[in-house]
Chain A
């Protein structure tokens, strides 16, 4: 029994660093107007200046809303009104070779200016939309995804 407890503790200990990486901050809110939310664990929180964004969060704006964020690698992203973008993955640890930024847009308008990850490892950057995936080699682009408004 004691042996199992020890093994269990060891597993817990070993798994902590991986969790710490997954829970790392991805970005911060820099601009916002009107209705703009971070949806985390099915709860929508109205954003404030300097709010932190984590992998797994969904960014959502209302008809009067906009929001702009900067990721830890300096990638800059903004959402127009009635827009939704999920931050699926973010890893930025150049000295360990861990790099990944994956965002997924459901609807609305967005502007994206890529950061350090796109310079170091373009293959680690993906911007997904319902109809296509955008691969990025260090640049600035706009996206519009049309779709029915959510009630």
Chain B
């Protein structure tokens, strides 16, 4: 027993030292805008130092894990991005869609405007031919934790039932419920908050 763990340790060490001696893999990292146009922030870091990137098209180049990443002054233009990353960008799946449905207080009955949203969710499921849907129930903080947990499950179940009646395969829907633990808007205990009485439908 002891002997085998020693071998494991030794091979782990060999792997590590092999990785340390492996030839350098020049790495380039390019920040690009989100689909909604926003540009976020990333940090490229190794033993040599760090490069913080906040600008669309900004690139960090890294030659090996001991040399600090460098960021050329010029950004990478769209043509060059397309030349190197055209294939990979074409393979990027469509962003998941989230639909939020609201409920009457202490009830698992949808409010009227949310029925329309539920139909849009169903349309998205059909057009994407999605087999990967999450239905997640939530409540506000009126009532006990236990009661809200049960209520959030009832809400999620009622939405799942509706989608199944519309023809979505039950196995394609993953049911989840968080009670009052995962609010959209944070409130104090006991506060009625219509925006938290909800079910989220995520279509991937």
Q: Is A102 an interface residue (CB 8 A)?
A: no
How far is B91's CA from A81's CA once the two chains are assembled, in angstroms?
A: 10
Q: Is B132 an interface residue (CB 8 A)?
A: yes
Q: Is A142 an interface residue (CB 8 A)?
A: yes
User: Could you list 28 A-B pairs, sorted by A, with CB under 8 Å?
Assistant: A30-B204, A31-B93, A66-B88, A68-B91, A74-B204, A80-B88, A81-B87, A83-B88, A94-B178, A95-B182, A109-B85, A129-B27, A129-B62, A130-B19, A131-B64, A132-B29, A134-B42, A134-B44, A137-B40, A138-B40, A139-B31, A139-B34, A139-B38, A139-B41, A139-B42, A140-B32, A141-B31, A146-B27
Question: Smallest CB-CB separation from A83: which chain B residue?
Answer: B88
Contact between B44 and A70 (Cβ–Cβ < 8 Å)? no
Within 8 A of B (CB), among A89-148: 94-95, 107, 109-111, 113-114, 129-148
Question: Smallest CB-CB separation from A30: which chain B residue?
Answer: B93
**Chain A residues with CB below 8 A from B181, complex form:** 95
Interface of A is mostly: strand
Contact between B40 and A76 (Cβ–Cβ < 8 Å)? no
Task: Please give the residue numbers on chain B whose beta carbons come within 8 Å of chain A beta carbons, in ascending order.
Answer: 19, 22-35, 38-46, 60, 62-65, 69, 81, 84-85, 87-96, 131-132, 134, 178-179, 181-182, 202, 204
**Chain A residues with CB below 8 A from B28, complex form:** 143-144
How far is B182's CA from A95's CA once the two chains are assembled, in angstroms?
A: 7
How far is B33's CA from A84's CA once the two chains are assembled, in angstroms?
A: 24
**Chain B residues with CB below 8 A from A87, complex form:** none
How far is B88's CA from A78's CA once the two chains are assembled, in angstroms?
A: 6
